[in-house]
Structure 1
Amino acid sequence: MHRSDVLIIGAGPTGLVLALWLSKLGVHVRIVDKTSAPGTTSRAVAVQARTLELYRQLDLAEAVVENGHQVKGGNFWVKGEAVARLPLSRIGEGLTPYAFLEIFPQDQHERLLIERLASFGISVERNTELLGFEQTADGISATLRLPDGEQETCQACYIAGCDGARSIVRKTLDTGFPGGTYQQIFYVADVQGSGPAFNGELHVDLDEADFLAVFPLAAEGRARLIGTVRDERAEHAETLRFEDVSSRAIDNMKVQIDQLNWFSTYRVHHRVADHFRGGRAFLLGDAAHVHSPAGGQGMNTGIGDAINLAWKLAAVLSGGAEARLLDTYETERIAFARKLVSTTDRVFTFATAEGRLADLLRTRLAPFVIPKLASFEASREFLFRTVSQITLNYRGMPLSSGVAGHVHGGDRLPWAHDGEGDNFESLKCPTWQVHVYGDTSDEMIAWCNEHHLPLHVFDWRPAFDTAGLGRNGFYLLRPDTYVAIAETCSDPKVIERYFRDHGIRAFFSEA
């Protein structure tokens, strides 16, 4: 009987990243997908800075940046004219190694992940569908329908539902998926074209006409169009062709389409599952939360789910942590998902609302306010911090403790870079580690050596103060580079107590 440590259902970016991280950490995975091939008509295009930071741990960030496209500006159109421009080329400068908006379409993204997964000897089992599963005291028993129509019963310690908004894993868990569906029908089209909106930047139409956004792709003259379908045509979305889509916004932005590569329509939902875990089963990505495309958050949030869960599953499966560590997955990720759905819902509603007041806000107020806000560094930084997900934190949650400098337990470790180096270099290794900025005690050095916990001591410099890091204390970092402990002292007993309290056995032996 086929047995794995983790059975992953669904091979979109979330499932693939989970499989990659687990494989790197030595976990035996099996990943299945009911489709015959990777998707080719995906609408997710943005890879946020926080995702790129985490991708350094799999040596993926460079490949994404090299093969994607950096957007230098966002332009807003009203009545056939570009009325405001938001500079994006270095909008997050000093905050992250990836201080830009990166466009790397999901279909290319999936191909890259599949290629890297193959280097671990793992391939996606296609045309393989989960029919259901049962939980036992020591694992999962799942029934799969294989490509030849035969059924197979397989065993796993855990099952991960990365199988989208219609998740069979979620339905089997019988957990609620409250929320709703927006009335608009959206289309996405991959095109070759020309015109001022094909200058390699992002363009958004704010008119009272149809919503339209033009996302540049790496190839010259190629772009991804995302727009709305209004009026009576929305009632027949499944049979719509690109020729049926209103050309008002396209004409307003002077878009000349030379070739249509593909076209698809979809509805947008806003939902968050009541629970992200049921025993040995977990929900990730669209199986756990779906939201509007505003801000390019969906795919990145699913990838964040995968990374959060991966190191915890690996720790438990290796015997390095008690099973209660897995309780923190839902606690940490569901709070962010709920906040994200609420935020993107407000942005999406503003961008697509109909009526005279909404039109006035978009066409009169927004063109005036956007340039004003863009002129302030603080406004640009706030926008970048929010969209890039570098402000996502787990403050006040069970695995987070303390404050040192401006950094709290649960925060992403701030990036500090100057001519002398980069404090993120050691984060490429997905393991627990300690960072000290300044001086530390002999006891800390001895304890970390004895317990094989990597300790990185950085001579104090102004860049650390600028980043908000505390001097002469320490930061215990989780394998996903979030701060577990932020502490002003240099007493290793604080670390030992933390590991004991949380049932993490990797760094101490039982007396």
Structure 2
Amino acid sequence: MKQSPTKRDDVLIAGAGPTGLVLALWLTRQGVGVRIVDKAPGPGITSRAVVVHARTLELYRQLGLAAEVIEAGMPNPGINLWVRGKRRAHITFGDAGADLTPYPFILVFPQDRHERVLIERLEQMGVTVERETELAGFEQHADHVRATLRGPDGIDTCEARWLAGCDGAHSPVRHVLGAGFEGGTYDQLFYVADVIAGGPAADGQIHLSLDDADFLALFSYTADGQARLIGSIREDRVDPNRPLTFDDVGERAIHGLGVEVRQVNWFSTYKVHHRLSDHFRHGRVFLLGDAAHIHSPAGGQGMNTGIGDAINLAWKLKAVLHGDASDRLLDSYEAERMAFARTLVETTDRVFTFVSAESSFANFVRTRIAPSFVSAAYTVDAVREFMFRLVSQCMLNYHGSPLSSGAAGKVKGGDRLPWAAGATVDNYAPTGTIDWQVHVYGATGDPLENWCHRVRLPLHVFGWERAHERAGLARDAAYLVRPDGYVALAEATGKPEALQRYFHEIGYQRFG
């Protein structure tokens, strides 16, 4: 290994899954030097996580990645619920999300292909993942972390201002820290298979079987039948004397979803955990993604949450490294992301417990009551919108964060910036700069314009339209938007004094 121990990188990233790759992309885009290592010889070769949600695509748009990812994946317009081989309910996303996001669908995009897109973009930016390189240990010092790496050429040491542990559920970074990882393991054994499928369920949509107490889902990711099949297997169906094969579980797919499995490209079994680390920040070391939190596969939230962790941390690291803000800004990473992760673990646990509970009453509710209830509830506009917001992570907010303040219209500090569907000018377009900015919908006065010009804070004024009112924005109010597209401060009066006071209170010297 050629890395000189005297060279100090800004950020060392351990782990080159989607979380680590997105962290590297955002940091590099912002002018932060990164080094990213991974013990695997190359990117994944199986699909693993397959769902990319709307909020992730919105964040990818800021990097100019969304269009490429969507073209490479398969947008799914809905979810279908099946009982005993018959489709009993259909949930569509188009109408539910059309006024909320430019991406009113669930994108199915296998993780192996996803990682390759991220790696290619990162290499275009001049950063290469160092493969077969494992973080063997590290020590924290007052102004840096000194890490020991084990790679193809032996042992090496390096220094970095900060260390990001994006190294998965068995995170060596977390183990070196001695951080807690409380939670448990579900009783069910899961299987996952990449297949070539035919039949009525191989139609490019997502299908979920509610039969008995086994979880079963199909995610198509190409138009020619390539799909991911996920199922759970109760322990009483497992033969301890031999490993399971797809032949042991394939009949359930045929009967539960009417799937014709024409070819099995990959099959594996695994256990699912639900755990949460006690801290996401330990001095100069951060935990992200599965290293910080893992949960059931319900809702396909895991990878998307790790990507959200990366983007939340990236702009804060940049601010501190560039001298724009004090170190305490980084404390907000744990405050914001841990609160969301805790809620997510609890929510997905409840959902998974429902779909996998083993009792005659649970089976009755799941197979008889749930499909009818979902079909009826989904005819109500407010219910459709709520469900889409929840699944897509567009509902995620940071209301309790020390970085969130104020309210104007229906928007509070900590909310995701609402998308004004149908407006003449797309209010999401300016967020591609990945920087702080002020939005005014209506008119603004000279004091705000002059102050923004003086401190070099971009100001975007959008002529007032009904689309802004429908989105919940207040006319002539000032919305201070963070680099990750969340509203930091909603100021109804539009006075610059409120913005200046905000930056002073959070210790952000660049605009204070």
* TM-score interval, smaller chain: over 0.9
Report Cα offsets for 1:165-201 as digits up to 9, x if no partner.
1111111111110000001111111111211110111
> How much does 1:235 deviate?
6.5
> How much does 1:209 deviate?
5.7
* Aligned equivalent of 2:405: 401
* Aligned counterparts of 2:31 and 2:447: Cα–Cα separation in 1: 32
Matched, 1:10 2:15: yes
* Aligned equivalent of 1:94: 99
Q: Which amino acid aligns with 2:20?
A: G
* Aligned counterparts of 2:293 and 2:376: Cα–Cα separation in 1: 34
| TM-score computed with the length of structure 2 as normaliser | 0.97
> How much does 1:491 deviate?
1.6
* Aligned counterparts of 1:481 and 1:176: Cα–Cα separation in 2: 31
* Aligned counterparts of 2:286 and 2:134: Cα–Cα separation in 1: 17
* Aligned counterparts of 2:230 and 2:41: Cα–Cα separation in 1: 26
Please give the secondary structure, in 2, of the residue aligned with 1:245.
helix
Q: 2:354 touches 2:362 (CA, 8 Å); kept in 1?
A: yes
> How much does 1:360 deviate?
0.5
* Aligned equivalent of 2:50: 45
Q: 2:82 touches 2:257 (CA, 8 Å); kept in 1?
A: yes
Report Cα offsets for 1:292-336 as digits up to 9, x if no partner.
110111000000000000000001001111111101100000000
Q: 1:191 touches 1:261 (CA, 8 Å); kept in 2?
A: yes
* Aligned counterparts of 2:120 and 2:242: Cα–Cα separation in 1: 33
Q: 1:210 touches 1:249 (CA, 8 Å); kept in 2?
A: no
Q: 1:41 touches 1:264 (CA, 8 Å); kept in 2?
A: no
Q: 1:161 touches 1:170 (CA, 8 Å); kept in 2?
A: yes
* Aligned equivalent of 2:118: 113
* Aligned equivalent of 2:326: 322
* Aligned counterparts of 2:426 and 2:436: Cα–Cα separation in 1: 18
> How much does 1:490 deviate?
2.2
* Aligned equivalent of 1:84: 89
* Aligned counterparts of 1:152 and 1:12: Cα–Cα separation in 2: 22
Report Cα offsets for 1:199-233 as digits up to 9, x if no partner.
11111111116321011112411111000122345
Structure 1: give runs of 5+ residues left out of the alignment: none
Report Cα offsets for 1:66-106 as digits up to 9, x if no partner.
11111122211112211221223343011111111111111
The match for 2:155 among 151, 154, 162 is 151
- Aligned residues: percent identity? 59
> How much does 1:421 deviate?
2.0
* Aligned equivalent of 1:28: 33
* Aligned equivalent of 2:394: 390
Q: Which amino acid aligns with 2:71?
A: E
Matches within 5 A, 1:214-233: 214-233=218-237
Matched, 1:141 2:151: no
Q: Which amino acid aligns with 1:158?
A: W
* Aligned counterparts of 2:88 and 2:104: Cα–Cα separation in 1: 25
Q: Which amino acid aligns with 1:334?
A: M
RMSD of equivalent CA atoms: 1.4
Task: Identify which range, 279-288 or 86-95, moves more after superposition.
Answer: 86-95
Q: Which amino acid aligns with 2:42?
A: A
Q: 1:19 touches 1:117 (CA, 8 Å); kept in 2?
A: yes
* Aligned equivalent of 1:270: 274
Matches within 5 A, 1:200-219: 200-208=204-212, 210-219=214-223
> How much does 1:271 deviate?
0.6
* Aligned counterparts of 1:238 and 1:226: Cα–Cα separation in 2: 21
* Aligned equivalent of 1:191: 195
> How much does 1:132 deviate?
0.9
* Aligned counterparts of 2:423 and 2:280: Cα–Cα separation in 1: 43
> How much does 1:394 deviate?
0.6
The match for 1:286 among 282, 287, 290 is 290
* Aligned equivalent of 1:358: 362
The match for 1:332 among 325, 332, 336 is 336
Please give the secondary structure, in 1, of the residue aligned with 2:96.
coil
> How much does 1:253 deviate?
2.0
The number of residues matched between the two structures is 507
> How much does 1:417 deviate?
2.7
Q: 1:210 touches 1:246 (CA, 8 Å); kept in 2?
A: no
* Aligned counterparts of 2:416 and 2:174: Cα–Cα separation in 1: 30
Please give the secondary structure, in 2, of the residue aligned with 1:417.
coil
* Aligned counterparts of 1:238 and 1:134: Cα–Cα separation in 2: 44
Report Cα offsets for 1:474-506 as digits up to 9, x if no partner.
011111111111011122121112112212122
